[in-house]
Structure 1
Amino acid sequence: MSDAELTVEVTGTVATVTIHHPARRNAMTPGMWRQLPVLLDGLEGDPAVRSVVLTGAGGTFCAGADLGDLDELLDAGDASIAVAAEDRLAAFAKPTVAAIRGACVGGGCQLAVACDLRLAADDARFGVPPARLGLVYPAPTTRRLARLVGPSTAKFLLFTSELVDAERALRVGLVDEVLPGDGLADRVAAITAAIGERSQLTVAAAKEIVDGRADDDRVAWWHGQVRASGEAREGVTAFAERRPPRFGWAPPVR
C-alpha cells in the first residue's frame, strides 16, 4: 500500500473508500484528489454497489488538503482538482455516507459536506480553516456548506476557523448522527444495509430531486419508470403479504 492513496473495498452492496495518508493525518494529496473521481466513476458503473461509505484510516477522517504546492493551489482557484473531486462526489448517482472519526478539517470537511449523509463518532472535530491561511474558500464549496448548515453557521466556521465538536456539529446540521466511537461502524453498516434493501428507483429519484438536479421532464421520466418497472406494485403487494419486497429496478446503462 502506498503511503498516500485512496483504497476501495466492496462488501455486499457497499463500497468503502478509505482515505489513507497516515504521515499527514490523512491529508489529501494532489494525486488523491485526482484519484477520487476515477474511483467514483468505476463504482457508479458497478451494478452490485448500491452505496458508498467514505472514511479515513485509523482514528482520523481527513485533516485537510496537503498544501505542499501552494502556487498550484492559488493559480487554480475554483478550477482546482479538489473542487473537481468534491463536485464529482456530490454528483455521484448513488447514496454516499461519510463515516467520521477525529479530525474532519478543511478538505476533509469539504468531502464530508459533499456526501449525502454524515455520521460522526463522538470524538470528531470539524473546522474550515482558510481564514487562518489567507485563502478564499472555493465558491462551490462555500455555497454547499451554506446550504447544509445555513448562512450564519457557515460564516461562523469560515470567519473564525474554530474547531467545533461533534455535538455542536449535530446541533447545526453539519452531521446527521453522533455515535459512541465503538458504535459508529455498526450504525453505518445498518444504514447502508437498509439502503441496499430499498427500491433503488426510489433512492435514485429521491437523490436527484432533493439535490435539485431533476427538471420537470426528468421527474416525469422517473414517474414513468415507476409505472414501467412494477416497483410500486411489488412494494404494495409485499407489504400486504408481510414479506420483504423483491425490487428489481436497475438504472439504465449509460
Structure 2
Amino acid sequence: MLGTRRDGPVSVLELQREDRRNALDLALCRAIGEAAAAEVDAGARVLVLTGQGSAFCAGADLDGVYGGEFLEALYGMLHGLTRLPVPVVAAVNGPAIGAGTQLVLACDLRVAAPTARFAVPTARNGMAVDAWTIRTLAATVGAGVANRVMLGAETLDHDAALAVGLVDRTGDVEDALAWAQEVAALAPLALAHNKLVLRGGDDETVAETFDACWASDDVREALAARAERRTPVFRGR
C-alpha cells in the first residue's frame, strides 16, 4: 500500500495502490501520515512523495470516501505534511486528481512528468474540499486560475501547471530525488524556519525558530566554511 526507502538523508514514500491508480482510502491516508512522521523522527532531512505506476494519485477512493473517519484521516495527513519540519517534494509521475492535487498542495516542492494533470472536480461530483485547499491553491496559482479550477472544474495539464507555479520543475522521480539530495545538504534549522513561515506558522513559534537559527552551530559552521573555502556540513543544531 505504501513503500518507503531511504537514500541517505532523503526518504521516498511511494503510494502503492496501482490497481486503484493510487486512490486514497482510510488506510493509505493513515499510512502516509505515520510513515512521514516516522521518517523525519529517524533523521530524514527531505521526503519525496510519489506514486506507483502511471498515476500519482487518482483522488479519494469513492468506495469509502463518504465517512467522517476518512475525512479526518485525509485532512490530518495533509495538514500533517505541511507541519513537518522538513521539505516534502512531490514527484508527480502522472495524473493528480482531487485528493491527488490536494496531496501535491501539501508538498513544498513539485517535480512533474509531462503526463501530469491536476484538477479538483468537486463541482462535478457534489463534494467539497476544505478552505485550506482552496486558499492554498489560490496562493500557489493565483486567484484567476483557482477560480477556473474550483468554479469551472478546469483541469490543468503539465504545461499549464508549470506556467502558474503549481509545478516547479519537469522531471521524473529520479529528478525529484536529485533535487531532494541538494536540498538535504542545506541547513536544516533554516529550512524548518523558512517552511514554518511559508506555511503560516504562529508568531511565537516563528520567533523561536528564528532565534534557534541564529544561535545554532550551523550558522557558525557556515562562517567557518566560508573562511576555509569549503562546503559547509550542517548538523541541524
Q: Which amino acid aligns with 2:126?
A: G
In structure 1, the residue matched to 2:129 is 137
Q: CA deviation at 1:160?
A: 2.6
Deviation at 1:128, TM superposition (A): 1.2
Q: Show the 5 A alignment for 1:1-254.
A: 5-47=1-43, 49-72=44-67, 76=68, 80-179=72-171, 184-215=172-203, 217-250=204-237
What is the one-letter code of the residue matched to 1:18? Answer: E
8 Å contact from structure 2 (residues 10, 47) kept in 1: yes
Q: Give the counterpart letter for 1:55 in structure 2.
A: T
Aligned to 1:86, the other structure's residue is in SS state helix
Counterpart of 2:144 in 1: which secondary structure?
helix
* 1:8 partner amino acid: T
Distance 1:230 1:70 in 2: 47
Is the Cα–Cα contact under 8 Å of residues 122 and 153 in structure 2 kept in the other structure? yes
SS of the equivalent of 1:80 reads helix
SS of match in other structure, 1:110: helix
Structure 1, gaps ≥5 residues long: none
- CA deviation vs aligned residue, 1:97-117 (integer Å, no higher than 9, x gap): 000121111111110111001
**Equivalent residue of 1:203, what SS?**
helix
CA drift of 1:60 comes to 1.2
Amino acid at match of 2:10: V
CA shift in 2, pair 1:161/1:38, >3 Å: same
Checking the alignment, whether the CA contact within 8 Å between 2:65 and 2:71 is kept in structure 1 is no
Pair 192,121 (structure 1): closer, same or farther in 2 beyond 3 Å: same
Q: Aligned with 1:83: secondary structure?
A: helix
Moved over 6 A (4+): none
Identity of aligned residues (%): 35
Partners of 2:104 and 2:89 lie apart in 1 by: 8
Structure 2 length as normaliser, TM-score?
0.92
- SS of structure 1 residue aligned to 2:166: coil
Any conservation in 1 of the 2:48–2:177 contact (CA below 8 Å)?
no
Change (3 A) 1:22 1:219: closer
Structure 1 position 81, deviation (Å): 2.2
Supply the distance in 2 between the matched residues of 1:50 and 1:35 (Cα, whole angstroms): 19
Shift of 1:213: 0.7
Instruction: Give the secondary-structure state (helix, strand or coil) at the position aligned to 1:207.
Output: helix
Distance 1:221 1:140, change over 3 A: closer
Q: CA RMSD in A?
A: 2.0
For residues 221 and 139 of structure 1, the distance between their equivalents in structure 2, rounded to whole angstroms, comes to 28
- Distance, in Å, in 2 between the alignment partners of 1:86 and 1:133 is 21
Relative to the length of structure 1, the TM-score reads: 0.86
In structure 1, how many angstroms separate the alpha carbons of the residues matched to 2:65 and 2:113? 32
CA separation of 1:141/1:219 partners in 2, compared to 1, >3 Å: closer, same or farther? closer
- Counterpart CA distance in 1 for 2:173 and 2:6 is 15
Q: Which deviates the most, 10-19 or 186-195?
A: 186-195
